[in-house]
Amino acid sequence: MNNYTGFGRIFFTLVLAMCLRIVPWPSAVATINPDWVLLALIYWTLAIPERVGIFYAWTFGLLVDVLTGRLLGQYALAYSLVIYLCLMLHKRLRQFPLPQQGMFIFFCLLLSQFLLFLIKNLQQPGEFPATFWLPVFTGTLCWPLIFTLLRFVRRSRIFK
Amino acid sequence: MDHGSPRIDAVRATLSVFTDSLKYLVDMPSGLINQASEATSTYSTLKKDNEILREEQFINKTRLLKFDALEKENIRLRALLENSFKLGEQVLIAELISINMAPFEHIVVVNKGTRFGVHPQQPVLDANGVVGQVFRALPFTAEIMLITDPSHAIPVQVNRNGLLTIALGSGQLNRLNLPYLPANADIQPGDLLITSGLGGTFPAGYPVAVVDNFNPADSKSFINVTATPKALLDRNRELLIVWGNKAPVQLLKDQTTDLKAPEVNKHE
């Protein structure tokens, strides 16, 4: 059985995640819109760490920077750090049941958001509304969905 | 405003070729819906629209007739004051791409970029007033910061008496703050605020906002005044990007000099 996951599939899911970032949701949804790209990157890193790693994180981080009009490199840095953690711990994380994985994902998302918070504050200090941290929670809640969906994409023969 | 060094801009422009195609992709459904609703509109509604537009155009044309004369008179008066006078702008119509860049920021994306000569800090208008300024120009798109963005400020003056002040964005689409007005400032609810032309980014004389009701506080040295933007910031799909004519109109050498005001012409 051929377990090899083509580049096309990984690329497609990441591009789809990038699209989800910029869909014009109503403002209530926009404030809780989780970081889909990071979630997808974490999944692929845990699933095929020998192929998806920091290079992917850095590249797609840069693309997200340009996509959302941020300072070039801030998402790249945040994603690379989080993906490095995932690479270190992927063997252990694979054994965890989904809720326990969710805990780890929560800290990953929190770390990424905290880095973005620091960089933003360096640029122009200002008040952040408490809703700035909401995507971390929604992202954690979305993890089981992402996990199941991407595992289906990885395993199904439809896309081969 | 942009903290990136100009060397990085080339990298960003290259990467944006890919991300901009994503922006157009995400925008496609709403564009299709617009097209579909246009295609299925009935003959009678089209006829009605046509009539309304024709009437509007007639009224605007007659107003412009008067504007021409006023403009020349203004130049003549300025010349008497030995004051240079700037006017004449070129505009480019850009269409909004309906995507959501980041929450908490009032930045919108339009479908014209550096390919059309758009550059940062250009003023952006709509039919009712000032919308904002170009924040970043990429090859195929441009990011526009609205005047209501929390980090945006626009120099304005009260149309009634020429009182100068600065209007700051509030983070709400229907409000601007005017925090730098002393308690005895001559400002009233309903006053029209226009661009003052100071600062060099926005050309003078475009309507920005209308002053809201406020309570004059006697005990404080500054009053809290808010204003409602004239431009329909959340309902527009078409925006005008403006090229200001930086060269001032020459002073009159003598009264017989033929005054030729630069025309407002469109790129598209």
pLDDT digits (tens, 9 = 90+) for B164-180: 999 999 888 889 999 88
Q: Which residues of B touch A25 (CB under 8 A)?
A: 100
- Give the whole-angstrom CA distance, residue B244 versus residue B192: 22
* Pick from A143, A135, A69: nearest CA to B100: A69
Query: Residue B266 pLDDT > 60, yes or no?
Result: no
- Say whether A52 sits in a helix, a strand or coil: coil
Residue type, B268: E
- Give the whole-angstrom CA distance, residue B41 versus residue B37: 6
Q: Which residues of B touch A74 (CB under 8 A)?
A: none
Q: Which residues of B touch A126 (CB under 8 A)?
A: 150-151
Residue B198 phi, psi (nearest 5): -75, 155
Cross-chain residue pair B12–A22, CB shorter than 8 Å: no
Helix then strand then coil, in percent of chain A rounded to 5, is 75, 0, 25
Query: Residue A46 pLDDT > 80, yes or no?
Result: yes
- Give the whole-angstrom CA distance, residue A58 versus residue A67: 14
Cross-chain residue pair B15–A63, CB shorter than 8 Å: yes
ipTM of the complex as predicted: 0.85
Q: Does B100 touch chain A (CB under 8 A)?
A: yes
Cross-chain residue pair B100–A22, CB shorter than 8 Å: yes
Cross-chain residue pair B19–A126, CB shorter than 8 Å: no
- Among B15-24, B141-150, B177-186, which is the least confidently predicted range? B177-186
Residues in chain A whose beta carbon is closer than 8 A to a beta carbon of chain B?
Answer: 15, 18-19, 22-25, 27, 30-31, 33, 62-63, 66-72, 123-124, 126, 129, 131-132
Judge whether A39 and A31 are in contact, CB under 8 Å: no
State residue B246's pLDDT score.
61
Burial B20-56 (b: 16+ CB within 10 A, else e): bebbeebbeeeeeeeeeeeeeeeeeeeeeeeeeeeee
**With bands split at pLDDT 50, 70 and 90, how would you rate the model's confidence at B249?**
low
pLDDT tens by residue, A101-159: 999 999 999 999 999 999 888 877 777 788 889 999 999 999 999 999 999 988 887 65
Cross-chain residue pair A124–B107, CB shorter than 8 Å: no
Rounded to two decimals, the pTM is 0.81
Which of B2, B12, B20, B22 should we substitute to test contact with A (largest number of A Cβ atoms within 10 Å)? B22
Cross-chain residue pair A124–B100, CB shorter than 8 Å: no
pLDDT tens by residue, B98-137: 888 777 788 899 999 999 989 888 899 888 889 999 998 9
